[in-house]
């Protein structure tokens, strides 16, 4: 899967500041609402789905990464936001390290296979230390997008 196909320039946030993981999630969902990717009336359902998932099983996977994710009925295609967190935020990661790179992933309900494929594609992509470092050091949305485009 080519992740650059579902990521557009406006879906990168190079400098998100939030006090905790819950506010990070709210901030990224609010960005998608402002962009018109999520309807305002669907926001509460999306927030609940992502936070329920985060509560049941944390999404901090280690190496400074978190991939909060959920399936929601209001979408017809996968949707993601990539954010660089400054300062890093505690996502209760497996390695107990704070998170400086967060990918919010949303997929349509009823498409479990697509959800797993997309989540797996992000995990594989971010498993590469060079890419993680490039994203961690990116200062602009353009620089962040270029990391995904050059790997395609």
Query: Cα(120)–Cα(95) distance, rounded to whole angstroms?
Result: 19
Query: Of 21, 37, 69, 141, which residue is the catalytic one?
Result: 69
Cβ-proximal residues to 31 (8 Å cutoff; 6+ apart), any chain: 11, 13, 81
Confirm whether 115 is a catalytic residue. Answer: no
Our CA dihedral for 49, 68, 12, 76, rounded to 10 degrees, sits at: -40
Query: Cα(35)–Cα(87) distance, rounded to whole angstroms?
Result: 24
Cβ-proximal residues to 112 (8 Å cutoff; 6+ apart), any chain: 71
Q: Which residue has the tokens 């992740």?
A: 3
DSSP bridge pairs for 82: 12, 103
Which phi and psi angles does 101 have, rounded to 5°? -135, 125
Q: Which residues are catalytic?
A: 69
């Amino acid at each position: 899967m080519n992740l650059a196909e579902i990521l557009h320039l406006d879906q990168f946030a190079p400098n998100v500041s939030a006090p905790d993981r819950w506010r990070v999630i709210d901030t990224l969902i609010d960005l998608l609402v402002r962009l018109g990717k999520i309807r305002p009336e669907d926001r509460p359902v999306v927030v609940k789905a992502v936070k329920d998932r985060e509560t049941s099983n944390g999404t901090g996977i280690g190496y400074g990464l978190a991939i909060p994710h959920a399936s929601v009925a209001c979408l017809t295609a996968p949707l993601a936001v990539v954010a660089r967190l400054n300062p890093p935020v505690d996502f209760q990661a497996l390695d107990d390290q704070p998170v400086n790179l967060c990918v919010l992933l949303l997929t349509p309900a009823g498409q479990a296979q697509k959800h797993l494929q997309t989540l797996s594609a992000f995990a594989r992509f971010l498993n590469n230390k060079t890419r993680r470092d490039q994203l961690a050091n990116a200062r602009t949305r353009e620089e962040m997008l270029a990391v995904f485009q050059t790997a395609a």
